[in-house]
Structure 1
């Protein structure tokens, strides 16, 4: 992989592109006191500042953890296209009605009793550090390149990876 670290504008664009492409993150909280707590969560929005937004239950374990320690880790993976993103961030619980209405969709009825549900909260995740990996080609070509590299002993150009300046 060739390394390409991105500036702020490129980073926000790449973050948004990868997050919207992958959608689900493994959302890890309780980073200061293992065992960590990890749950899959769907990203509802990436705002203009690069903040990631999620909906969550007020009484959920990750909300409780964020109230104690606001540091979280998000891992996004699209193994089919060899796209990966890891984000270290600060999270905060948000109860603003306008934000909840903006983020809430019909599919969220599976977890909540509508946007008026008293258990409904949003989580705003402000990235502090992020790193991405993405293949130039899809999974099949990448696997073929790895095989050729193993046979020839030459490191193949698998794609790009780098830090996001957030």
Structure 2
């Protein structure tokens, strides 16, 4: 059978970690942003990733009046969770968030979808959040979703020991 406790580990640092973050965030429309981590009631909200830049920093559009913005003002530590079921890729990142009101950043990351929450990019509530990861953990497939799924199904049916094609490890920036 597939043994997820014995799958290969591959810890990634610096440039390799940034490359993995960019790869896993590419094509993902939304992730979960967790703020207020020191509070009893953690705030978890879906957010659209606008970009993962060359340093691995994740960028989001947000409202100055949102609960997560208020939480970030009190405590910048956040967790971002990315899930790409279509590729069997999962990523959890610890990092520090910063809120920006700079018009050039708003212009850079503005999308038409943001109009659903704001009255245009000049709305005074528009903010940009950057999350600079410092560590995390990823789970990925080496062979892609279809091959990994076939291997797991084969193992489940036959009880045979197979490599499920998975790899996981720490992300350290």
Of the three residues 100, 114, 119, the one matched with 1:94 is 100
1:152 aligns with 2:159: yes
Is contact 1:80-1:138 (8 Å) kept? no
Q: How many Å apart are 1:86 and its aligned residue? A: 0.5
1:127 aligned residue:
133
1:163 aligned residue:
170
Residue correspondence of structure 1 range 54-69 to structure 2 within 5 A = 54-69=60-75
Instruction: With the length of structure 1 as denominator, give the TM-score of the two structures.
Output: 0.92
Q: Structure 1, unaligned stretches of length 5 or more?
A: none
Q: Distance in 2 between matches of 1:71 and 1:155?
A: 39
Q: Distance in 1 between matches of 2:76 and 2:25?
A: 21
Moved more, 146-155 or 96-105: 146-155
Q: Deviations over 1:55-111 (max 9, x none)?
A: 100000100111111111111111122011111111111111111110001221111
Of the three residues 17, 20, 23, the one matched with 2:29 is 23
Q: How many Å apart are 1:154 and its aligned residue? A: 2.1
Moved more, 89-98 or 13-22: 13-22
Moved more, 129-138 or 103-112: 129-138
Figure out how many residues of one structure are paired with residues of the other and give that number.
Answer: 166
Residue correspondence of structure 1 range 73-112 to structure 2 within 5 A = 73-112=79-118
Residue correspondence of structure 1 range 35-50 to structure 2 within 5 A = 35-50=41-56
What secondary structure sits across from 1:2 in the alignment?
coil
Is contact 2:148-2:164 (8 Å) kept? no
1:53 aligned residue:
59
Is contact 2:12-2:170 (8 Å) kept? yes
Q: How many Å apart are 1:155 and its aligned residue? A: 4.9
Instruction: With the length of structure 2 as denominator, give the TM-score of the two structures.
Output: 0.88
RMSD: 1.6
Q: Distance in 1 between matches of 2:71 and 2:13?
A: 32
